[in-house]
Amino acid sequence: MINRWDIEEVKEVFGHDKVNEYLKQGWVLLATHVVGEMEAGVPNPPLVYVIGRPKKAE
């Protein structure tokens, strides 16, 4: 299990295709959140994925 002290770099990524690329490279998903507020006529507000790159094993 990775804890917060094992993370070397953090990024916010938009889009499931992009976050999946990072996950395949070994990054880990730390959190998700919606950008902005729900608006009438907007079915899915943008989702941001917060990912972290683990420190390399020494």
**Nearest to residue 12, comparing CAs of 33, 38, 26?**
33
Q: What is the pTM of this model?
A: 0.76
Q: Please report, as a single letter, which amino acid is at residue 14.
A: F
State the average pLDDT for the chain.
Answer: 85
Q: What is the DSSP string of 5-52?
A: GGEEEEEEEESHHHHHHHHHTT-EEEEEEE-S---TT-SS--EEEEEE
Average pLDDT, stretch 22-27?
96
Residue extents of the structural domains in the chain: 4-36+44-54
pLDDT at 21: 97
CA distance 35 to 47: 6
Calculate mean pLDDT across residues 12-40. 90
